[in-house]
A and B are shown apart, each in its own frame.
Chain A
């Protein structure tokens, strides 16, 4: 439908939309009630996944299902999405911040000749003008930006926007428009799966535990992982810990790592350097445990304990276990 707010579906590669889509659809619905369409590019969508999009409040699902759409390649996705956009004339195109959507949204905006607001944390609609708010300069400032013309393309930071409420039984009609799948220049070779920790993905987790140089060595992260398992948290690290080789790069939080915005961040032995804060300062609740009362992280922490982390972590695990077993 013309003037729709598109929400590009990020899925788990197994036919189900990721939870972050509830947030993207929730925000789009707040801005454009009744005009939200989920646009899903995939090689296989599941019935359960389609149902989920309806229950989150999408008015319609536009399903582009084609073997060439997986694994994701920007050239193929953009050709398909741009062809559909030309027919449908959406007003806005929203996607969650993930590694592929960041590239896809940027490339699509270039194809459509429109602006892109990446990693947005807020939107305000005023008549026919949309203004997005996004952190800049290592999160030290907020920039408000606006588009010269539609479609307004934006990516949304996970865990920031209020998720849509699930409306059990609500369904969305599914349309399967045909678009020509472009031939790809890039050839897929292989996927190297990382060893799963069994803990949530860093950028999506509602709770994140971060271990810094104070962890003293790679062997000590087991105590953070134990705590993570009890409270369902992802375990990340500071750059100091990553550069020391204690944790793989993908676990780094900060300016040159992942940007996270969980409901709860717990930092252990992290000093709170500006580059680390750049990646986590929009967390809702920040807890810091550090031996040094002068550590800068205490300036932005909601709760702090000045103590040895090796005493605090086991105690915390024990107390949370007690609480959550109840």
Chain B
């Protein structure tokens, strides 16, 4: 079974982000880049499916500039067999829909039985590309999955998705697309052998023209980025516990009107 995993490279949450002079993008200096955490769950799940079935191929795909190779390399180190890098300046201002269109074109070329994505990329936090891929491919889709099991024939997948108040379980005929939620699994760390082996694995560069991509303006564009307005200064309530608690309750009721 061929499984494709989409991965996005994002700034590590712990690194500071600064707005670039254009006011619309972030300044890349000093940023540590990581694989978006939800995509790690997706990679892990794909590897487990392959291991469980004893055969198959796991392909990691990412759209982004040159630095994205590093993210793909770490997916290869985790155990993916090869990687595809959608690397073309025309995608520099891609919104989720344009990203999904490019990824869908690559998926059509590859023809996997299953696509795994993350619940959302933790930079733009849109949580949209997976659903948009499903729409463009015309595939069934399960969001926020906590479990999955592929049937023995490799014809369908049973997935449990997290919803308010519980889990909903569905059977999806393959090919299908799944969005990984935290709790699906615990991603592995690459082994030294994996890291060494990753250097020899293929990362294929794909240009827009290779996908027959016609340039189109984004449907959603960024007008500007701004820093968060600062919160008003807070107040530490001193005193012994009973006194402090009484004052807190009073302040929440009378000053903040929060209770």
Contact = CB atoms under 8 A, between A and B. Distances in A.
B244 A305 contact: yes
B234 A144 contact: no
Interface string A247-258: 001101001110
Contact of B219 (A75, A149, A263, A316): A149
Nearest to A135: B125
Contact of B241 (A111, A231, A293, A311): A311
Given A99-B164, A312-B241, A300 B258 contact: no
Given A75-B141, A319-B246, A303 B26 contact: no
B192 interface: no
Interface in B228-248: 228, 231-232, 234-237, 241-242, 244-246, 248
Interface stretch (B13-21, B66-74, B83-91, B194-202): B13-21
Interface string A184-202: 1111111111101000010
Interface majority SS on A: helix, strand, loop or mixed?
Answer: mixed
Contact of A136 (B16, B125, B130): B125
Interface in B57-109: 95-97, 100
Given A106-B126, A135-B125, A255-B122, A302 B248 contact: no
Interface in B171-225: 171-173, 176, 179, 181-183, 217-225
A19 B113 CA distance: 40
Contact of A201 (B95, B164, B242, B256): B164
B128 A118 contact: yes
A41 to B, nearest CB: 15
B170 A187 contact: yes
Nearest to B23: A144
A106 B223 CA distance: 20
Interface in B1-39: 11, 13-14, 16-17, 19, 26, 37-38
A304 B235 contact: yes
Nearest to B236: A304
Interface in B127-173: 127-132, 134-136, 139-144, 146, 158, 160-173
Contacts of A113: 97, 219
A99 B220 contact: no
B10 to A, nearest CB: 8
B97 A99 contact: no
A47 B188 CA distance: 52
Nearest to B16: A140
A99 B139 CA distance: 19
A171 B173 CA distance: 43
Given A71-B168, A302-B231, A147 B245 contact: no
B123 interface: yes
A165 interface: no
Contacts of B246: 319
Given A99-B164, A139-B228, A305 B248 contact: yes
Interface string A131-171: 10011111111111111110000000000000000000000
A119 B167 CA distance: 22
B253 interface: yes
Contact of B13 (A74, A75, A138, A293): A138
B143 A103 contact: yes
A300 B84 CA distance: 42
A301 interface: yes
Contact of B258 (A71, A78, A264): A264
Given A316-B249, A323-B249, A298 B234 contact: yes
A44 interface: no
B234 A300 contact: yes
A194 B162 CA distance: 10
Nearest to A203: B164
A142 B100 CA distance: 23
A185 B256 contact: no
Contacts of B253: 323
Nearest to A195: B166
**Which 3 pairs show the lowest CB-CB distances between chains A and B?**
A115-B220, A249-B183, A106-B128
7 contacts: A107-B141, A137-B123, A186-B170, A189-B169, A192-B160, A264-B259, A302-B235
